[in-house]
Chain A
Amino acid sequence: NAGVTQTPKFRVLKTGQSMTLLCAQDMNHEYMYWYRQDPGMGLRLIHYSVGEGTTAKGEVPDGYNVSRLKKQNFLLGLESAAPSQTSVYFCASSDPGGAETQYFGPGTRLLVL
């Protein structure tokens, strides 16, 4: 099993450009999440999904959109990138229910100039 994979690993964007980050999981998990990690702030939840076709906002959703058209994939979109979106982005997945382990991908490092 590959677990959780993320594409791309690294990307440089100019302000105003758009891009999509892809997350894929092969564990048949219902729940998927997108986080961003910034120095000294830990990880913050951007959006999450509790099943195919459903998405919800997390703690810091502004400037991002998501889609979950297939159970195994969760896409994070930046329509018009800003320097404040320079960060490392992590995707995770889990089973539903309390205290379930979240399995994280290796991350995507994004630099917006």
Chain B
Amino acid sequence: AQSVTQPDIHITVSEGASLELRCNYSYGATPYLFWYVQSPGQGLQLLLKYFSGDTLVQGIKGFEAEFKRSQSSFNLRKPSVHWSDAAEYFCPVEAAGNKLTFGGGTRVLVKP
């Protein structure tokens, strides 16, 4: 069965600093991987996804993620964080039938 681990429960970063969120997955086949963001009190919004091809994926809001098969990782990065990036981030993996398996999420706090 597939699984996702997000090792960092909380991350605090200063505004303007870089951000990297870690995501490790376990899946038998080539995975479909996603990053979603959840702002406080809101639903989830897709940032980016990987399904094939180039392992460096560009998303919305200046985010990018790199798929590394050898490390079973799909880490999310942003070079300069804005206060509006304070949110919770999830990196689900897709199993057959469009079903997503989520990790526990990483909450990002942005210091002024």
Contact = CB atoms under 8 A, between A and B. Distances in A.
Tell me the dominant secondary structure on chain A's binding face. Answer: loop
Contacts of B27: none
Given A58-B99, A94-B98, A98-B94, A42 B43 contact: no
B42 A42 contact: no
Contacts of B101: 45, 59
A43 interface: yes
A31 B102 contact: no
Interface residues of B, number: 25
A99 B46 contact: no
Contacts of B103: 42
A76 B44 CA distance: 19
Contact of A98 (B43, B51, B92, B104): B51
Max chain B Cβ within 10 angstroms of own Cβ: one of A4, A42, A90, A104 = A42
Contacts of B34: 101
Nearest to B1: A59
A50 B44 contact: no
A39 to B, nearest CB: 9
A21 to B, nearest CB: 14
Interface in B3-20: 4, 9
B98 A31 contact: yes
B90 interface: yes
B43 A90 contact: yes
A98 B22 CA distance: 23
B104 A101 contact: no
Given A42-B105, A45-B99, A99 B45 contact: no
Interface string B37-66: 000011111100101000000000000000
Nearest to A3: B43
Contacts of B4: 42
Interface of B: 4, 9, 32, 34, 36, 41-46, 49, 51, 90, 92, 94, 97-105
